[in-house]
Amino acid sequence: MPTLSIDGTEIEVAEGTTVLRACEQAGVEIPRFCFHERLSIAGNCRMCLVEQVGVPKPLASCAMPVTDGMQILTRSERVQAAREGVMEFLLVNHPLDCPICDQGGECDLQDQALYYGRVRSRYREAKRAVTDKDFGPLVKTVMTRCIHCTRCVRFMDEVAGVPELGTMGRGEDMEIVAALDGCLHSELSGNVVDLCPVGALTSKPYAFAARPWELSHTESVDVLDAAGSAIRIDSRDGRVLRVLPRVNEEINEEWIGDRSRYAIDGLAVRRLDRPWLREGGAFRPVTWEAALAAVATALQAAAPERTAALMGDLPGLEGMTALADLMRARGVASVDCRQDGGAFGPGEPASWRFNAGIAGIDRADALLLIGTNPRREAPVINARFRKRWRAAGIPVARAGPVTDLTYPVTELGAAPQVLAELAEGSHPFADVLERARYPLIVVGSGALARPDGGVVLGLARRLADTVGAAGPVWNGFSVLQRSAARAGGLELGIVPADGGLDAGGMLAAARAGGLDFVYLLGADEVDPDAFRDTFTVYQGHHADRGARYADVVLPGAAYTEQAATYVNTEGRPQQARPAHPPPGDARPDWKILVALARELGSPLPYESLDGLRSRIAAAVPHLAHIDQLPPPAPLAPFGDPDGALDAAPFEEMVPDYYRTCPISRASATMAACARAVADA
């Protein structure tokens, strides 16, 4: 381990450490533009210059490996002069348009100019101007501001795996261009906005919306897919203006998908902000009292066996628990959290969790994808698969439709029968998995929502045994959920009790006139037409599919407006925090249900959020361990491996990445993205 001195302080660092990293370890900050921890080293901005004693020229510390006995100076006059020189060159062509630049106030160049900029410019010649590029509906370009750090190019190439950005020309003529005008074909493209150290790439939907110092920051968790990425919600005056990723090494590192970042304009439109009651075919706004009374009357009139409750993709644990408690107290057996009909083994947590953990992907040495397109179902998880492939070149195979996942895939075809061969061990890829030390088998939630989902689940589980993927040290059997609510509902055990109907049963019964009352908690991905003749209560935040045929609409809060706990696909509980109160008369989900229970004359055993959370913790203790992975699930067999597989091939479950939920369907930005992708 080499030892070096930094500004006179001795420090020992690992072999291969760069001088910049060593300085960071010594607590010395080094300015930089092109260097980024998660991208390859470019060494082209020269801002990180330091002095090495005895060496005539300053060093670019980001690219210089440490050698034993180095004496590094970071605060000498020469270093200051060198960095001032670099800054002066960077500002030769950079416009001084900070007052009209969206990066202002959070700009690396602006910040570092404070320490290394000259008071007056000596430059008298003409500045160059660069034509702006069309990067699509999400990324706004002002290319004259570009300082050619190439972070965006390296991100698209290395992390996103969509090499659509590049540098054309050189020297003064160098420009960043996209392969095609109109859009970047990546679900992670918004991250280039965060990476851009200047105002060349900014957020198009957020253009001129706010200054960073006007915003309130709320640390929360994303619910637009099931990864549970860490986000920061920036809001002002009761409106979410932007969502940025936070660092969470165990989940999203520091990226988020474009839907998670940009669907937020959907939070401001099509909102249910007051209770509605259907009378004679038309909705009439009513008071909360009238709405709750109407629900209570209908619920009391319905027999428990002709009553059902269905949860959607976005509610948190609190709302789902309150609804399940309310229904069970009335003896209702037909309560289900699986609106898509997934065949997750009730009582078998390993059958719905991503057991290997998202960080566990970094250890996997063979990967099998079954009926899933992770690029669209969870882009940050797909980026992790790609990262692993780049680091170790692991073999990846897929049973499912062919799509570009950004890494090489051995296609096993979309016919599910290949699963049976794999589970028997007669398929060549079963040998690959068996030889691997950390085989990872990822089953898509869509593959489990097929009519033969139980068979798919059972065969995948058997395959895990066949190849030794499911053991006490490493459990590579992993389910990739698509919706933020599903794993939580399953952890809470919100599945039909004995004799109860599951989601498919509810729809069939309703169509046949066998249901009198159904309560939809944010359930929008089912055919609402089925409930035409059933008294339907829709509780949720958007006037989407679920509210269409409702008899009573109860306005709930979206994930940015209420305190709620979400369990991600790993089974990890995390808390969403309200950035502002819900609009109008809308209320947090659990409060609505507590009020309804009171109206029914049988109050729930809790009246506060803390009380409700205690109730959840008592029922499922690990759900109280916020941000922690759950204890490993037992390795019992589950599913129905001996059943018959359907002939139907595995299908793409997310045909339109940009519109998958009531929020994203209400978003004009997401609609523009879908159009741009379709046109390109």
Residues within window 174-193 making contact with other proteins, judged by CB under 8 A: 179
DSSP state of 33: S
157 is a contact residue toward other proteins (CB under 8 A): yes
Rounded Cα distance, 221 and 577, in Å: 8
Compute the least distance from the CB of residue 559 to other proteins, in Å: 37
Compute the least distance from the CB of residue 68 to other proteins, in Å: 32
170 is a contact residue toward other proteins (CB under 8 A): yes
Residues within window 209-228 making contact with other proteins, judged by CB under 8 A: none
Residue number, 34 or 464, with CB nearest to other proteins = 34
8 is a contact residue toward other proteins (CB under 8 A): no
Rounded Cα distance, 75 and 176, in Å: 33
Q: Please pick, from the candidates 164, 452, 491, 525, the single residue that binds other proteins as defined by CB under 8 A.
A: 164
166 is a contact residue toward other proteins (CB under 8 A): yes
Contact region with other proteins (CB under 8 A), list: 158-166, 190-198, 479-487, 640-648: 158-166
Token digits for 84? Answer: 């001032």
167 is a contact residue toward other proteins (CB under 8 A): yes
Size of the site for other proteins (CB under 8 A): 10
Q: Please pick, from the candidates 2, 65, 105, 163, the single residue that binds other proteins as defined by CB under 8 A.
A: 163
First and final C-alpha spacing in the chain: 52
C-alpha 577: how far from its chain's center? Answer: 16
**CB burial of residue 2 (10 Å; 0-12, 13-18, 19+):** middle
Residue number, 386 or 587, with CB nearest to other proteins = 386
Contact region with other proteins (CB under 8 A), list: 17-25, 157-165, 453-461, 606-614: 157-165
Residues 6+ apart with CB under 8 A from 376: 187, 403, 652, 653, 654, 657
**CB burial of residue 415 (10 Å; 0-12, 13-18, 19+):** middle
| Beta-bridge partners for 440 | 367
Rounded Cα distance, 370 and 459, in Å: 11
Compute the least distance from the CB of residue 406 to other proteins, in Å: 11
Closest C-alpha to 189, from 653, 679, 669: 669
Residue number, 180 or 508, with CB nearest to other proteins = 180
Residue number, 157 or 656, with CB nearest to other proteins = 157
Closest C-alpha to 416, from 97, 643, 257: 643
Contact criterion met (CB below 8 Å) for 440 and 469: yes
Q: Please pick, from the candidates 54, 69, 169, 472, the single residue that binds other proteins as defined by CB under 8 A.
A: 169
Contact region with other proteins (CB under 8 A), list: 15-23, 165-173, 296-304, 490-498: 165-173
258 is a contact residue toward other proteins (CB under 8 A): no
Rounded Cα distance, 494 and 336, in Å: 6
Contact criterion met (CB below 8 Å) for 598 and 243: no
Residue number, 150 or 220, with CB nearest to other proteins = 150
Contact region with other proteins (CB under 8 A), list: 159-167, 360-368, 484-492, 668-676: 159-167
Contact criterion met (CB below 8 Å) for 452 and 643: yes
Compute the least distance from the CB of residue 249 to other proteins, in Å: 29
Summary count for the chain: helices (H), strands (E): 20, 26
168 is a contact residue toward other proteins (CB under 8 A): yes
Residue number, 166 or 504, with CB nearest to other proteins = 166
Contact region with other proteins (CB under 8 A), list: 130-138, 162-170, 257-265, 331-339: 162-170
Q: Which residues sit at the interface with other proteins, rule CB under 8 A?
A: 157, 163-170, 179
